[in-house]
Amino acid sequence: MHEMTFYWHDYETFGRVPRRDRPAQFAGIRTDAELNEIGQPLMVYCQPPLDSLPDPEACLLTGILPQTCAEQGLSEHEFVAAIEAELAAPGTVGLGYNSIRFDDEVTRFLLWRNLREPYAREWQNGCGRWDLLDVVRCAYALRPEGLTWPRHEDGRPSFKLEHLTQANGLAHEAAHDALSDVRATIALARLIKQAQPKLWDFCFKLHKKDAVWAEIGVGRPFLHISGMYAPERGCIALVWPLAPHPTNKNELIVWDCSEDPSELLTLNAAAIRERLFVKQADLPEGVSRLPIKSIHVNKSPIVISALKILSPEMAQRWGLDLAQGLQHAQRLAEQGHLLSGLWGEVYQRAGLEGGGDVDEDLYGGFVGPEDRKALSRLLGLTPAALAERAAEGRLVFKDERLEELVFRWRARNFAASLSEAEQQRWTAHCAARLHEGAAGAQTLAAFFDQIDSLSEAADERGQEILGALYEWAEQIAPAA
């Protein structure tokens, strides 16, 4: 058994969409289980790609320019290798603040684009992943003592890292600088662990999906804390397990028991599907979205079987009528069988990600074992040896996505090793994306329009950043 350590980490990125936008900066700090720092912090920049543009709004937020990353950064191939070495070290639990929904997705797509196994570091060799954000929500809902809880101007509670650190007198020198954010996250974690050690231990237990399933049990209501439930209601709900997800064994479909399920029991699959995936604004007047959500057991969800943990005072504070909720749960326990067989149709091809572009097609299917071995072998070759294999037509895979993925990986990381024909192919690819918007990429024209629009309200710092972005785009623009 390897001794468990936490690896706290954070990305700053050139946009908000992990499958599309690229990392600019990564920082990580390892601690022991008691949150004492171990070893040296890591902070690295990543060289930006030449076939996609940064989101100017992201650069205004972080202050990180593509020029800085180009000059000081590692190639994406080297960048992800350094990160994987930390996150995959035996016994490592990787975590951050909103890391499961954002940073872990950035890591997965980084690994995918660079021919590495995207999921292994999350479970092999005693490794795991966790996220402090839902622990913070849980403390707010159930054990708020020991922390000061900041509010937005409109009175709603704020779970923003910079607001929490400021309200609690924790050092946070530069929000949206990766290393500063990591140190702030660790400081907040120490405060919660000290103030509410039992809550900390309970939430940490749930980073293992077997513990999540055990807490959920079978055929019983339970409490669930999630950002999908409004902070005004404590981010908490009593839920009933409707069914396992038809295609994802790590997903459970649940009903919010604050709502009467009578209507649900009369609906067919098409009606449920519409009221699940169509935005409220697009539904007919008088028709509301159904209070159904999925719990991903491999994403460290906060689920609580002991309903007594919710005192009458807390239930009243969050507007949670437990007696009524249990009546609704009983209705589903007795009549939920009416819905059996519907869920396959409800979730058929819903929420597919990726726009058909191989860089974004991580979730298009698992890479087979033969192809995975072949990719692993490629990672150990020199650029010259890779070029030789390509010239001899030996970069062949069963998975049709991989030939293009390998080509782009070589072009981005080992451009000097491309043949003349490959250089022309890469230039054509960049031109198609930046001039024509291929695969949904932002075009140069749209990029310049966005900069012009943002510059109207920008301060002096913003003007400098936008000016530098204009220069960057002109620098990488391929011939039309």
12 annotated ligand binder: yes
Cα 287-291-292 angle, rounded to 5 deg: 120
Q: Which residues pair with 157 in a beta bridge?
A: 151
Q: Given CA atoms 417, 470, 62, 20 in this order, what sign does their dihedral have?
A: negative
Q: Extract the tokens encoding 332.
A: 């589903």
Evaluate whether 108 touches 78 at the Cβ level (below 8 Å): no
Question: What's the rounded Cα separation, in Å, for the pair 79 and 42?
Answer: 11
What is the residue type of 315?
A
Cα 232-233-236 angle, rounded to 5 deg: 135
Question: What's the rounded Cα separation, in Å, for the pair 303 and 297?
Answer: 9
Question: What's the rounded Cα separation, in Å, for the pair 318 and 295?
Answer: 21
E strands, 249-325, are 251-256, 292-296, 302-304
Tokens 């990564």 sit on residue: 26
Question: What's the rounded Cα separation, in Å, for the pair 59 and 56?
Answer: 5
459 annotated ligand binder: no
Which among 298, 71, 62, 305 is positioned nearest to 178, based on CA atoms?
62
Question: What's the rounded Cα separation, in Å, for the pair 462 and 61?
Answer: 9
Question: What's the rounded Cα separation, in Å, for the pair 121 and 48?
Answer: 24
Task: Indicate the SS3 state at residue 439.
Answer: helix
What is the residue type of 464?
E
10 annotated ligand binder: yes
Q: Extract the tokens encoding 170.
A: 């924790």
Question: What's the rounded Cα separation, in Å, for the pair 466 and 393?
Answer: 44
Cα–Cα distances in Å, from 391 out to 5, 120, 409, 421, 469? 45, 31, 16, 10, 37
Question: What's the rounded Cα separation, in Å, for the pair 432 and 156?
Answer: 45
* Residue ranges at the known binding site for substrate: 12, 160
* Residue ranges at the known binding site: 10, 12, 160, 181
* Residue ranges at the known binding site for Mg(2+): 10, 12, 181
